[in-house]
């Protein structure tokens, strides 16, 4: 069990892992709170109000899902890279290499 004044390498790495765990959770929740309503509004516009023809509208839904998936993947890769750099810095390694 570590205490607030613990400055060992393991404690710093644990702190970095906890921080990035929180960041990853916040990223997933934020992404879901944005992507979900967008897809819902699109589905309601296509199938509920028939603003767009359903045969074409399904491609809009697929496009939004693909763009969202690409964006989420890109954000996760950036988060993992930042986590690796932060862990290297917490361990005292040179983060430039």
- The model's pLDDT over 68-80, given as tens digits with 9 standing for 90+, comes to 999 999 999 999 9
87 neighbors 13 (Cβ within 8 angstroms): yes
Sequence length of the chain is 97
pTM: 0.82
Domain ranges in the chain are 9-91
List the structure tokens of 72. Answer: 């989420």
- Span 32-81, pLDDT tens digits: 999 999 999 999 999 999 999 999 999 999 999 999 999 999 999 999 99
DSSP for the chain, written as a single string: ---TT--SHHHHHHHHHHHHHHHHHHHHHHHHHHHHHHHHHHHIIIIIS-SS-HHHHHHHHHHHHHHHHHHHHHHHHHHHHHHHHHHHHHHT--TT-
């Amino acid at each position: 069990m570590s205490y607030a004044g613990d400055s060992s390498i393991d404690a710093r790495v644990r702190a970095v892992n906890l921080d990035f765990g929180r960041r990853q959770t916040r990223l997933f929740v934020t992404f879901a709170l944005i992507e979900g309503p967008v897809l819902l509004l699109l589905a309601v516009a296509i199938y509920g109000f028939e603003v767009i023809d359903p045969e074409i509208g399904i491609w809009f839904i697929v496009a939004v899902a693909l763009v969202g998936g690409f964006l989420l993947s890109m954000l996760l890769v950036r988060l993992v890279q930042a986590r690796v750099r932060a862990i290297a810095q917490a361990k005292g390694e040179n983060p430039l290499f």
